[in-house]
Amino acid sequence: CRILAELAMMLRFVVGALFPALLLAAPPPINKLALFPDKSAWCEAKNITQIVGHSGCESKSIQNRACLGQCFSYSVPNTFPQSTESLVHCDSCMPAQSMWEIVTLDCPGNDEIPRVDKLVEKILH
């Protein structure tokens, strides 16, 4: 049990340290395109009930959010030999702010592993 607790603590540290850096590295979204000035990209966090499960354990329902939206992507034709960088872009609707939460699932009938901790991304915005 001590090894599992140490692994869980290490995983919390790694998740807490790495994920904010990955979110900061993402390029800003494009809301308008010159070809379609009347169209806008959008992204919203919608409330959902999420089922967290694991084989041999009892599932739990939690309240969370899912990102839903419509984003722009484009690819401009290249020339050869290439005189400029390729103009390819693809946005995605993704969390602007989230946190990680541990959800503990009970595993009845399993004396070796009576509980399983699952990391769940909780979307805030």
Classify residue 50: in a domain, yes or no: yes
- Residue 67 covered by a domain: yes
> Which neighbouring-strand residues pair with 122?
99
pLDDT beyond 80 at 18: no
- State the average pLDDT for the chain: 80
State how far the Cα of 20 lies from the Cα of 112, in Å rounded to an integer: 35
In a domain, 20, yes or no: no
Q: How confident is the model at residue 9 (pLDDT cuts 50, 70, 90)?
A: low
Q: Is there a domain that residue 75 lies in? A: yes
Find the CATH number of the domain harbouring 116. Answer: 2.10.90.10
Higher pLDDT pick, 20 / 113: 113
Does 3 fall in a domain?
Answer: no
Higher pLDDT, 3 or 102: 102
User: Which residue range forms the structural domain that includes residue 94?
Assistant: 28-123
53: its two tokens: 């499960």
Q: Number of structural domains, the chain?
A: 1
Does pLDDT of 57 surpass 90?
A: yes
